[in-house]
Amino acid sequence: MITHTGLEPRHREFREHVQTFCDEQVRPVVEEHERKGQFPLGLINELGDAGLYGITIPEEYGGEGLDYRSFQIAVEELSRVWKIPAGVVSLSCSLVGTSLLEFGTEEQREEWLKEIFTENLVTAVSLTEPQAGSDAAALETTARRDGDELVIDGQKVWTSHGEVADFLIVVARTGEGGGHHDVSLIGIPDPQNVDGLEFVRDIPCMEGDAVVENEVKYDGVRVPEENIIGEEGSGFKYIMRALDVGRIGAAAQGVGIAQGAMDASIDFADEREQFDKPIREFQGVSFKLADMAMNVQAARLLTIWAAQNLDAGNRVSKQAAMAKTFATDVAMDVTTEAVQVHGSRGYSKDYPVERFMREAKGTQIYEGTNEINRQVISNHLFE
């Protein structure tokens, strides 16, 4: 049965559960963490205890065994309050979860995937390099064989959660072929205690200091050759496939951020009075709110469509790119207008909308810039 909210009862209950979690565990800690520039490590355990970490990971590997529709709901509702925990959930279920679940060996799933989601471990993926961002296949980090070990050398940037991660996947070249054909994914457990692996710095970001984005140096890092995830040389396709899922996560973040900014704008426009009436009675404000409502709902429906396609077992490169691009562009527009509706208060840090605006900007860039995602969409139009 579909309810008037468009949610099946199980998804409606799940959404209420996430909202309760956000009210009790996330909302009270956002301000302090943001002010101190502290990554919310403690929240990850609480997410796990509440069944909100390994959402799409099968129960046999420590997850919740839920669908991507639930993933979309959780990431959206968390982002509506604070994007950082939503980003942790999204990355662990998508880039890391998908890579291990779909392409890892049974041993890797048993050993790594299960531990990540049983112990609520923080995960990271080292893909982007200074000269290989949008052109991901141009990466230069190498993993050369030495006996039954791999020796990894290179430099990465934008490794989210790197310095707090308990498990990391590095994307590196394991052959001489060039292009995307000799790229492999390599699992590195306990990356904080690996010789030659250095988290050089936490890149200061527009989003704020609580977010962790590392520059990472790999200087002769040795791991067993069994740490290659799935087939050697297939890593580029694996990470592209995982990025399809990650882009649905980014889309859900965009929807949540936009919804959070819209909620705040509605409250503010109702309370704030100028010229003896609430500012929502001025068309200059009320039309902004109407546009926000239309665009947020359109972005949500596109994201749900992408998630449902993934649940149906379809390849979702086009759908995920469409949802990601549209929803994150909406997030940027809505948050910018939300600051405007709040006037000078919106420009201050006393209200949450300036943070939503900073959060929105990142979503247009990570998980593939919106320009690259438009390229992915248009490529699929000619198939």
Tell me which residues touch ligand COS (CB under 6 A). Answer: 95, 125, 127-128, 134-137, 180, 236-237, 240-241, 243-244, 317, 366-368, 372, 376
- The residue whose Cβ lies closest to ligand COS is 368
Residue type, 51: G
Complex with ligand COS: residue 237 or 272, whichever CB lies closer: 237
Least spacing, CB of residue 345 vs ligand COS, in Å? 34
223: enclosing H helix or E strand: strand 213-224
Strand partners, 187: 169
DSSP state of 57: S
- Name the residue with tokens 């900073």: 358
Angstrom CA distances, 342 to 328, 349, 352, stand at 21, 12, 10
184 by Cβ neighbours in 10 Å (0-12 / 13-18 / 19+) ranks as buried
Of residues 64, 163, 232, 367, which has the active-site annotation?
A: 367
Least spacing, CB of residue 159 vs ligand COS, in Å? 8
Least spacing, CB of residue 300 vs ligand COS, in Å? 22
Complex with ligand COS: residue 144 or 237, whichever CB lies closer: 237
Complex with ligand COS: residue 187 or 368, whichever CB lies closer: 368
Complex with ligand COS: residue 241 or 280, whichever CB lies closer: 241
Complex with ligand COS: residue 240 or 301, whichever CB lies closer: 240
123-126 vs 167-173, strand pairing mode: parallel
Alpha-carbon gap, residue 166 to 199, rounded angstroms: 13
Q: Answer for the pair 37, 209: CB distance below 8 angstroms, yes or no.
A: yes
Rounded to 10°, the helix 235-271/68-81 angle is: 50
Alpha-carbon gap, residue 336 to 329, rounded angstroms: 11
Complex with ligand COS: residue 25 or 184, whichever CB lies closer: 184
Q: Could you tell me the two tokens for 245?
A: 């899922």
Least spacing, CB of residue 158 vs ligand COS, in Å? 7
Alpha-carbon gap, residue 127 to 182, rounded angstroms: 14
305-335 as b/e: b if 16+ CB within 10 A: ebbbbbbeeeebbbbbbbbbbbbbbbbbbbb
Alpha-carbon gap, residue 170 to 158, rounded angstroms: 12
Q: Is residue 271 annotated as part of the catalytic site, yes or no?
A: no
Angstrom CA distances, 359 to 87, 140, 178, 332, 336, stand at 11, 30, 35, 9, 11
Least spacing, CB of residue 57 vs ligand COS, in Å? 19
Least spacing, CB of residue 129 vs ligand COS, in Å? 11
Phi then psi dihedrals of residue 314, to 5 deg? -85, 155
How many CB atoms neighbour CB 263 within 10 A? 17
Complex with ligand COS: residue 46 or 215, whichever CB lies closer: 215
Least spacing, CB of residue 240 vs ligand COS, in Å? 3
**Active-site annotation, residues:** 367
